């Protein structure tokens, strides 16, 4: 597949990296010579310096015979015009654009992006996607990650193993013996910042971050097995009233009406604006690092704070202050990847990466075949993929122990007729089963080569 990526920032870089790993023909366009040089030095792609919306630049990038254009520059208007030029002049079949300004996305102007007007096939709003991701994490207290899969029949959960976790130092093969009625599969571990694709002989150790797939009806039991029995927050404090904080408050009002929500926003005009649009959320104007403001907001009696200002350092410090004042849980937005490795040594419970969320959202629109969703779990770790098994698949019709899966690929769940099946050596996949699998970063290319024809996963 031939793809043009407009924008060489963090999101564009990571999309190009994923596509290049899978042997796609990728060209990246950016105005910054430094960013293009970084792309050319580190990735097997073609980098071009230029304005992504200019026809001559897209022509140089090979738009005439490209299959897809992904516009993720820092400017909405450049992204939109690039898609328009790609369609009108070069007839690029698929156009994806990141658009941040919510004025463009208002239902009032829904016909703006119709094919006869501005033909963009997929629009990604990072702020809305991040707000949804935070809402998911609020639904399972004690988890740092939660992703619903297969129409919410199963969930991917991420938890940390504390010192008192009942399952530490237990070989994974014994989980079935300990919990015979619990449909759970461990698909990944992060230990001291290093990813591990576990075998049945591996053990979980204190401090490990564990990713597992579980039947949605058994999430409570699974969390209890890991020693997490926290209750869902009824008092929520949001640091930052920008688009993410505002969307999150709207989502809470709409879907979790029993939660009492407050927002602290530093800009007076913005605070007044969102206060007029929210029905049940209290908005406080002030600095999230001001102890008097935190006390006024009742941080000591708040179960969860969500720090989503536009500054990473403010989010980290405000989260630590909230925990110091007695808040039980902190969810923190972090844009810079350099901070991710520091979080485990601090008291922050959950981090949210807009970059990873945006990349995951775009990837699921790129994958070919019977892909239903793709999720990047951690930078450089791997992907969680939900797909439908076709009749021509080599997975179908024989026991899994006879299927030669690449090292680093784990089947997390099979869903058939709405029921989760934990994959075992004797399990036989049937046509049209939904498969949830994990592929480690270094074997994604092997997975693509192995499955592109037989399974049409990619």
Residue 395 lies in a domain: yes
Q: Specify the pTM.
A: 0.81
Q: Which domain holds residue 11?
A: 2-124
Could you tell me which of 52, 9, 53, 4 has the C-alpha nearest to residue 24?
4
Residue 384 confidence (pLDDT) = 87
Residue 95 confidence (pLDDT) = 94
Residue 457 lies in a domain: no
* 120 and 6 assigned to the same domain: yes
The CATH number that applies at residue 441 is: 3.30.70.1450
Residue 44 lies in a domain: yes
List of residues 6+ apart from 335 with CB closer than 8 A: 10, 312, 353, 354, 355
**CB contact at 8 A, 196 and 211:** no
Q: How far is CA 180 from the centre of its chain?
A: 31
* 8 and 117 assigned to the same domain: yes
* 103 and 136 assigned to the same domain: no
**CB contact at 8 A, 41 and 13:** no
Number of domains in the chain: 4
Residue 458 lies in a domain: no
Residue 307 confidence (pLDDT) = 96
* 325 and 400 assigned to the same domain: no
Residue 376 lies in a domain: yes
Rounded distance, CA 258 to CA 25, Å?
A: 50
* 73 and 98 assigned to the same domain: yes
Domain stops at, among 71, 101, 124: 124
* 313 and 347 assigned to the same domain: yes
- Assign 120 to helix, strand or coil: coil
One DSSP character per residue, 128-145 reads: HHHHHHHHHHHHSTT-SE
Rounded to whole angstroms, what are the CA distances from 446 to 389, 408, 409?
18, 10, 10
Residue 357 confidence (pLDDT) = 86
φ, ψ dihedrals at 358, nearest 5°: -65, -45
Residue 230 lies in a domain: no
Q: The tokens of 63 are what? A: 């738009």
* 60 and 134 assigned to the same domain: no
Residue 451 confidence (pLDDT) = 52
Residue 24 confidence (pLDDT) = 86
* 421 and 378 assigned to the same domain: yes
Q: Is the dihedral of CA 168, 170, 171, 172 positive or negative?
A: negative
Domain stops at, among 98, 124, 150: 124
* 338 and 389 assigned to the same domain: no
Residue 450 confidence (pLDDT) = 52
Residue 367 confidence (pLDDT) = 63
pLDDT tens, position by position, for the chain (458 residues)?
899 999 999 889 988 988 887 778 999 999 999 999 999 999 999 999 999 999 999 999 999 999 999 999 999 999 999 999 999 999 999 999 999 888 888 878 878 887 778 889 999 998 888 998 898 888 888 888 999 999 999 999 999 888 888 888 888 888 888 888 888 999 999 888 788 888 888 899 998 999 999 999 999 999 999 988 877 778 999 999 999 999 999 999 998 888 899 999 999 999 999 999 999 999 999 999 999 999 999 999 999 999 999 999 999 999 999 999 999 899 999 988 777 767 666 778 888 888 888 888 888 777 655 667 778 787 667 888 888 887 777 788 889 999 888 888 889 999 999 999 999 889 998 988 999 989 887 776 666 555 544 444 43
Domain stops at, among 124, 143, 165: 124
Q: The tokens of 138 are what? A: 């609020």
The CATH number that applies at residue 49 is: 3.40.50.720
Q: How far is CA 451 from the centre of its chain?
A: 23
* 338 and 446 assigned to the same domain: no
Rounded distance, CA 336 to CA 194, Å?
A: 18
Residue 197 lies in a domain: yes
* 317 and 392 assigned to the same domain: no
One DSSP character per residue, 214-236 reads: EEGGGHHHHHHHTT--PPPPSEE
Give the position of tokens 């399974």: 455
Residue 94 lies in a domain: yes
* 258 and 343 assigned to the same domain: yes
């Amino acid at each position: 597949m031939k793809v043009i990526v407009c924008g060489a920032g963090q999101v564009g870089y990571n999309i190009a990296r994923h596509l290049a790993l899978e042997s796609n023909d990728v060209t990246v366009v950016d105005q910054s010579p430094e960013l293009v040089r970084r792309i050319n030095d580190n990735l097997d792609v073609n980098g071009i310096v230029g304005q992504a919306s200019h026809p001559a630049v897209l022509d140089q990038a090979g738009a005439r015979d490209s299959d897809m254009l992904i516009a993720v520059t820092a400017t909405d208007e450049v992204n939109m015009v690039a898609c328009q030029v790609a369609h009108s002049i070069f007839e690029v079949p698929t156009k994806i654009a990141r658009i941040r300004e919510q004025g463009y996305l208002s239902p009032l102007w829904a016909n703006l992006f119709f094919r006869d007007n501005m033909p963009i096939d997929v629009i990604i709003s990072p702020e809305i996607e991040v707000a949804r991701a935070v809402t998911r994490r609020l639904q399972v207290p004690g988890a740092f990650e939660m992703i619903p899969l297969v129409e919410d029949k199963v969930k991917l959960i991420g938890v940390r193993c504390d010192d008192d976790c009942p399952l530490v130092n237990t070989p994974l093969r014994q989980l079935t013996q300990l919990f015979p009625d619990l449909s759970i599969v461990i698909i990944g571990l992060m230990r001291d910042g290093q990813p591990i694709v576990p075998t049945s002989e591996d053990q979980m150790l204190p401090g490990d971050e564990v990713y597992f797939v579980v039947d949605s009806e058994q999430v409570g039991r699974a969390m209890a097995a890991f020693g997490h029995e926290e209750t869902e927050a009824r008092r929520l404090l949001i640091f930052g009233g920008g688009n993410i904080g505002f969307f999150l408050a709207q989502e809470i009002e709409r879907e979790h009406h029993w939660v009492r929500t407050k927002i602290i926003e530093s800009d007076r005009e913005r605070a007044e604006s969102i206060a007029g649009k929210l029905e049940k959320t209290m908005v406080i104007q002030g600095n999230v690092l001001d102890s008097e403001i935190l006390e006024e907001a009742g941080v000591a009696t708040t179960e969860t704070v969500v720090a989503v200002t536009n500054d990473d350092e403010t989010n980290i410090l405000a989260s630590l202050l909230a925990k110091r004042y007695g808040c039980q849980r902190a969810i923190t937005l972090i844009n810079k990847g350099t901070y991710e490795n520091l979080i485990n040594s601090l008291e922050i419970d959950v981090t949210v990466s807009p970059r990873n969320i945006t990349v995951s959202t775009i990837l699921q629109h790129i994958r070919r075949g019977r892909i239903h969703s793709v999720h990047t779990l951690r930078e450089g770790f791997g992907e969680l993929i939900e797909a439908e098994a076709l009749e021509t698949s080599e997975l179908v019709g024989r026991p899994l122990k006879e299927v030669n899966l690449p090292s680093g690929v784990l089947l997390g769940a099979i869903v058939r007729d709405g029921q989760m099946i934990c994959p075992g050596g004797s399990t036989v996949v049937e046509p049209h089963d939904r498969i949830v699998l994990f592929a480690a970063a270094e074997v994604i290319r092997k997975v693509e080569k192995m499955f592109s024809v037989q399974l049409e996963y990619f």
